[in-house]
């Protein structure tokens, strides 16, 4: 399991990710022809995107400290004022950069 896969390692990993993703795209479609999804399974799958984001972002936030917190806060405030993903992204990255430049974190 721990042998270095060398120069093709990146491509092997990309192929594995692709092989894991396509069944998710067609799996529900295929399954519906055989058994309907229960409301419980539906709710769990609906809950997944938010749970993925919280579980990914919170520990990174804790690790990266003030610049990450300031960047995320700026992007959230920008989105609450007016929903524009470009503006939010630029505001967030810029705020984080300024925070680092100011010596925070």
Q: Which of residues 30-59 bind another protein (CB under 8 A)?
A: 30-33, 36-37, 40-59
Residue 25 in contact with another protein, rule: CB under 8 A: yes
Please state at what angle helix 85-101 crosses helix 66-81, rounded to 10 degrees.
150
Residue 13 in contact with another protein, rule: CB under 8 A: yes
Please state at what angle helix 39-64 crosses helix 66-81, rounded to 10 degrees.
130
* Residue among 66, 81, 82, 84 that touches another protein (CB under 8 A): 84
How far, rounded to the nearest angstrom, does the alpha carbon of residue 62 sit from its chain's CA centroid? 16
Number of residues in contact with another protein, rule: CB under 8 A? 79
* Residue among 66, 81, 82, 92 that touches another protein (CB under 8 A): 92
* Residue among 12, 81, 102, 104 that touches another protein (CB under 8 A): 12
* Residue among 64, 66, 81, 102 that touches another protein (CB under 8 A): 64
Measuring CA to CA, how many Å separate 65 from each of 18, 38, 49, 72, 96?
A: 33, 41, 24, 11, 10
- DSSP label of 3: S
């Amino acid at each position: 399991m721990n042998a270095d896969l060398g120069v093709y390692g990146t491509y092997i990993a990309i192929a594995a990710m692709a092989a894991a993703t396509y069944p998710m795209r067609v799996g529900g479609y295929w399954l519906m022809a055989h058994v309907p999804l229960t409301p419980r399974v539906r709710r769990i799958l609906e809950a997944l995107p938010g749970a993925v984001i919280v579980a990914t972002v919170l520990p990174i936030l804790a690790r990266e400290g003030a610049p990450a917190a300031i960047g995320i806060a700026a992007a959230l405030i920008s989105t609450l004022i007016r929903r524009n993903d470009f503006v939010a992204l630029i505001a967030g990255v810029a705020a984080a950069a300024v925070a680092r430049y100011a010596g925070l974190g």
